[in-house]
Amino acid sequence: MQDIATFVSAGKASLGIEFGSTRIKAVLVGPDLAPIAQGAFDWENRLEDGVWTYHDDEIWAGLRAAYAALASDVERKYGVWPERLAAIGFSAMMHGYLAFDAEGKLLVPFRTWRNTITGAAADELSNLLSFNIPQRWTIAHLHQAVLNGEKHVPDVRFVTTLAGYVHWRLTGRKVLGVGDASGVFPIDSATLDYDARMVAAYDGLLAPRDLPWKLRDLLPEVLPAGADAGALTEEGARLLDPTGALQAGVPLAPPEGDAGTGMVATNSVAARTGNVSAGTSVFAMAVLERPLKGWYPEVDMVTTPTGKAVAMVHCNTCTSDLNAWIELLGEAAAALGASFDKPKLYDTLFEKALDGAPDAAGLVACNYLAGEPVTGFAEGRPMFARPPDAKLRLGDFMRAHVYSAVATLRLGMDILFRKENVALDSLLGHGGLFKAPVVGQQILADALGVPITCLSTAGEGGPWGMALLAAYRAEKAGGETLEAFLARRAFASAKGSTLAPTATGKTGFDAWLARYRGLLEAEKAAVASL
C-alpha cells in the first residue's frame, strides 16, 4: 500500500476515463498496470424530439463526478490525493455527431450512436464508397443533415465524437485515435489516415451543393496509439478537477472509442484475435488476416488503435432489457421482505439461466429497445412470448433473456464465419455480461460456436483499456509496438478462463434461435402497432 501511495504521489500512475452508455468510469493503474482505484458516475441518454442525446452540461458534470470519486478512492485506500499523473486518456461510445461552428459553439444537441435516423444517408454513402457506412457513423449523421437541409450545415467547421470533444476541451487539440476515427469515416490502414479516394468521392458528391467546406476541413487529425496527442491545459485541469489539486501539463493519449479500448482490455490487437464487448450494446471484433471479399450492411470495418483492419458486428441493444427484468424481479423480492445487494441480485438471477432448458423450453424474448440495423429495424419494442403450453419457470425465463441479449450478434457473426471464412483462435469477452461467473461466457460460446476467454480484468472493460493506452503513451520506448507493450507489461501474468462450446448448448441455442427468427416477424408488427 505504501509503495502504491509513493507511486501515485510521484505522478507515475496513468488514468483512463471512458464515457459509456450508462456510466462514466475512471480507472487508475499502478506499477503493474493493474487497476488501483476507480470512480464512476451513472447517467442515461434521453429521447428528445426523436433524437437520443446527452446534454452538454451532463458531460462535464459526469466527468468531474467520476474523477472526484476516483480521487476520493485513492485517498481512502492510500492516504494521498492525486496531483500529478503520468498520462491520461479519454474514450467514449464511438460514432454519433457533435458539430461545432468557427467559435466552437455546439450547433445541435449531441446525436448519439443509438439513433437510427440516418438511413437515407447511410445507404447513399455505402453505395457511393462501396463500403458499409452504418447509420450511427459520424459521416452518416453529417450527410443526413445535408440531405435534410438543416440550417446549421453551412456553419459547421468541426465534427467529432464524444471522446474527441472531451479531449479537445481539455487539451485544445482536435485529434482522434485511429480506432475512434474509423467510426467517423473509413480509414486507409496503409496511411493511417482517412481514405483519400473516399474523401474525394464525398467531396465530389457535395460539389453541386456549393457548401463552404470540404470534408477534410471538418475532420479531426488521426493519430495512432502512443502518439503525442497534446497535454492537459490549465483550463482542462480545472474542468476535470475543480479543486485545483490536479496539475496541468499531463501528457494525453489519443482519444479512442469503446471498440478500441475493448480490444486493448482483452489483448486483442493482433491478427486472428477477437473480442466481444457486451454491456448496454454488444459488438464483436475480429482482427483480420486479409481483407473481406465483399462489403455487408451488417459488418462494420474499423481498426485497432494502431490501424489494423477489424471486422465488427455491432448490435444496439444487449443487456438493457435483461437488466430491466432483473430489477423488476428484485423489486418483487424486496416487496416480500428479502434483503440483498445489487451484485447478489444479478449474480443469482444470471446463474438461474444455467438451470433452464437448453432451448429455454419454448420461451422467447426480443430485447430491442431501439432500432437494430443488423436485422433491419428502425425502432424496437421489447417483447416476451411463450406458447400457451409452455410453463413459466425462472430458469427458462432467464435463459431466454440472456439468449436474447446475444441473438442478434450471432446473426451478424454468421456472415463472417460462413460467408468470409474468418478464422479466430478464440474470442475474449469483457463488459457487464461477463461479471457473473460462467453464465454469459458459456452461453456466448454456445451461441457463436467459438471458445470464449474471460480474463480476471474482464469486468473492467474499456476504462482499463484506455488507462493501458495512456500508460503506453507515457512509457513507449523506441519502436515498441502496442502488441509487445501489452504482452510485456499488462498480460504477461494474466489470469483467466476459457470455456468451449458444448454440443448440448449449441443445439439448444440453435433451436431457440429458430423461434427467435419467428419472433422478429411479430416484432415488426409490434413496432407498427405499439
Burial of 492 (0-12, 13-18, 19+ CB in 10 A): exposed
* Alpha helix ranges (H) inside 195-276: 196-206, 215-218, 234-240, 258-265
Rounded to the nearest 5°, which phi and psi values hold at 261?
A: -70, -30
For residue 428, give the H/E element and its range.
strand 427-430
pLDDT, one tens digit per residue, over 283-337 is 899 999 888 888 998 898 999 999 999 999 989 899 999 999 999 999 999 999 9
Considering the entire predicted model, what is its pTM? Answer: 0.81
pLDDT, one tens digit per residue, over 410-435 is 999 999 999 999 988 779 988 889 98
DSSP string across 318-372 = SSHHHHHHHHHHHHHHHHTT----HHHHHHHHHHHGGGS-TTGGG-EEE--SS-B
pLDDT confidence of residue 43: 96
Residues 296 and 19: their CA atoms lie apart, in Å, by: 29
Of 375, 373, 400, nearest to 386 (Cα)? 400
- Please compute Rg for the chain using Cα positions: 23
Tens-digit pLDDT string for the chain (530 aa):
789 999 999 999 999 999 999 999 999 999 999 999 999 999 999 999 999 999 999 999 999 999 999 999 999 999 999 999 999 999 999 999 999 999 999 999 999 998 989 999 999 999 999 999 999 999 999 999 999 999 999 999 999 999 999 999 999 999 999 999 999 999 999 999 999 999 999 999 999 999 999 999 999 999 999 999 999 999 999 999 999 999 999 999 999 999 899 899 889 998 888 989 898 889 899 999 888 888 998 898 999 999 999 999 989 899 999 999 999 999 999 999 999 999 999 999 999 999 999 999 999 999 999 899 899 999 999 999 999 999 999 999 999 999 999 999 999 999 999 999 998 877 998 888 998 889 999 999 999 999 999 887 655 678 999 999 999 999 987 789 999 999 999 998 888 899 999 999 999 999 999 999 999 999 999 999 99
- Site of grid cell 509496438: 481
SS3 391: coil
